Amino acid sequence: MQLKEELTLIQCGNRSISDFLHVVKALADEIAIIDDPIFYDDLTLYVLNELGHDFHEIAVPIRAREKSLVFEELHDLLAGHESYLQHMEVATQQMVMTTNFINKGQPSSGGDFSKKSYKPNWSQRN
């Protein structure tokens, strides 16, 4: 009974999806040895209920499936989504850094662009 409670209370926290799912699978395996095996649907719900908002996009279609996922399929889907989220975070950080770099040397709007007047390279001859 204690292991089942641990399974229902486990949280992903700052762990990677692989680490989190490893802990969940280990608990589920222990429960299966001692008690009755846990159905894949139940295990999937335990996992999805503990994932943060970032995984909402992938959790909805997983919940809506008619056919149960085996644990390895769930792992692959969630690990792929985690990889996608990490890629998007890196891309966003790069975009912010690029924007900051570009804007760093730009004058503010309405400000004095230069104290010097513009002088063309060519000179007028009359």
Is there a contact between 20 and 12 (Cβ–Cβ < 8 Å)? yes
pTM value is 0.68
Per-domain residue ranges of the chain: 2-82
How far lies 2's CA from each of 7, 19, 22, 30, 32, in Å?
9, 21, 18, 11, 13
pLDDT for residue 105 is more than 70: no
The string of pLDDT tens digits covering residues 48-98 is 999 989 999 999 999 999 898 999 999 999 999 999 999 888 767 766 666
